[in-house]
Amino acid sequence: MYSAHLSKNYINVNHNLKIGVNIVEKGFDPIELSKTVKRIVVKGYGKNQRRKYFRFRGGRWYGGIATGDCVGCNLRCVFCWGWYARDNADKLGRFYTAEQVYYKLIRIIRKHGYNKVRVSGGEPTLSRDHLIQLLELFSDEGILFILETNGILIGYDETYARDLAKYDNVHVRVSIKGATPEEFSMLTLAKPRAFELQLKALQNLIKYNVSCHPAIMVSFSSKESLEYLARRLVEIDRRLIAEIEEEYVLLYPHVVKKLREYGIKPKIAFKPDGTIIKCR
């Protein structure tokens, strides 16, 4: 009964985002959505906290990395390659403890000779205890943990950055969606003001000396909006400018369909075969 109720809430959130023009314009609160999604994809607390995952794999990113794909996110990016798992969080995946995830990933690391690991697919920070426990498990192995995050929860609560600072094997890649609050809202369907949480995440991480860099989805940005973001990053820390990683949308068929659905056109994008498309 309880889980059925939660699933219904979750489906309503997605449904409203898809069909309600006013709601799309207004945007949702990603902190509230974090709480809703967390009830579906996270169980328990502390060392035994379990998170839903749908896949474990090796891959060529970062020169070779073991990846656990988790289920669930607190944004609704229109270009998300993992949208199916994201929007079906109540149906897909299985719950794993951090220790179980560790053993799955360490097997992949040893098989391929990797020295890096990450959690991808969804938003790893939704399961804070589980994530910290994973960092703890990998900290003695000399394995670099690349935390790919949209930064919303680290920006919302600076104690998250303080906790990450306890581990010197973590590097945080804050994936910023668009270059202005308006672009952020257009791309993620969240409230424009939540854009600030992504920048605050970088600020909090730098405050606690956590290794980090900004990755920016630039496919939809104008020159002016990129200049705006550059100014905002300089205000946080001048060094961030040199560390920007540009992200471009990959035009998988389902992404093309979603972009059409929302009437959004990228200025620069890549086809899955690597061909560049410019629409400026």
| Interacting residues toward ligand SF4 by CB under 6 A | 73, 75-77, 80, 82, 86, 122-123, 150
Q: Which is nearer to ligand SF4, 134 or 217 (CB)?
A: 217
- What type of residue is 89? A
Q: Which is nearer to ligand SF4, 137 or 259 (CB)?
A: 259
Quick one: 83 or 228, whose CB is closer to ligand SF4? 83
Least separation in angstroms between residue 17's CB and ligand SF4 is: 11
Q: How far is the CB of 238 from ligand SF4 (least distance, A)?
A: 26
Beta carbon nearer to ligand SF4, 137 or 156: 156
Least gap, CB of 46 to ligand SF4 (angstroms): 25
Is residue 128 within 8 A of residue 157, CB to CB? The reply is no
Q: Least separation, in Å, of the C-beta of 177 and ligand SF4?
A: 6
How far from each other are the two terminal CA atoms of the chain, in whole angstroms?
51
- Token readout for 33 is 């959505």
Q: Which is nearer to ligand SF4, 137 or 164 (CB)?
A: 164
d(CA 94, CA 259): 30
Q: How far is the CB of 73 from ligand SF4 (least distance, A)?
A: 3
Give the C-alpha separation, 170 to 52, whole Å: 21
Q: How many DSSP H helices and E strands does the chain contain?
A: 13, 12
CA 207 – CA 43 distance, rounded (Å): 31
